[in-house]
Amino acid sequence: MQKYILLFLLLFNSLALLAQERADHPVKGYHAFIDGGFNTAIGSNRYNRISFSTSHGVQLNPFLFVGAGEASQFYLSEEGNETYVDYCEPLFADIRIDFKPKKVSPFLDFRIGGSFVGDITGFYTSITGGVRVGRCNFSLGYELQFIEDYDNPAYDSYSWDGSFVRDPASSIVFKVGIDLGSR
């Protein structure tokens, strides 16, 4: 696990060096965000995960971004001496609010959608708050991915008709990202 965290930090430190150009506020027009994160599981479902995502859309004014995106998430689970990796790709709508559009600006990012591809499918949502420093973004928040599965009697409280379950995988997420919008 420490290798994944170290790799993640090295990757985004190098991306931050590429983002030296700064503007006073987000400019209207096309914007893209690329970020990576580490999720720590909370609740009954103990899946930690590593995620990478991209959002593309329009900055309507200095305060509001509206777009859509895709994430690649890798769920890590350990059983005995073995580590298993499950994969999913949520598609989502993305709304982002910059509260004080300056070089250093707090923001709130809300994503809602679903995962239809990979080992894990189901409803997806994420809400994060953070700070934008120039083109770099740092955020902390909550993420929920429902894991839909068949014939899993261990989670009878979530099942109906005895064969289909929806298991919520809640997590606290820390993300680091880059704003690739027009400035």
Asked if 73 and 45 touch (Cβ cutoff 8 Å), the reply is no
pLDDT 10s digits, 50-97:
999 999 999 999 899 999 999 999 988 777 777 778 888 999 999 999
The CATH fold of domain 2-17+26-179: Porin (2.40.160)
Helix (H, G, I), strand (E, B) or coil at 58: strand
* Whole-number pLDDT of residue 122: 86
Residue 181 has pLDDT above 90, yes or no: no
Alpha-carbon span 35 to 63, nearest angstrom: 20
Asked if 57 and 29 touch (Cβ cutoff 8 Å), the reply is no
Tallying the residues shown for the chain, one arrives at 183
* Those residues with Cβ within 8 angstroms of residue 11's Cβ, 6 or more apart along the chain or in another chain: 36
Q: Where is average pLDDT lowest: 76-80, 125-129, 132-136?
A: 76-80
Q: DSSP assignment, residue 21?
A: -
Cα angle value 91/111/177 (rounded, 5°)? 90
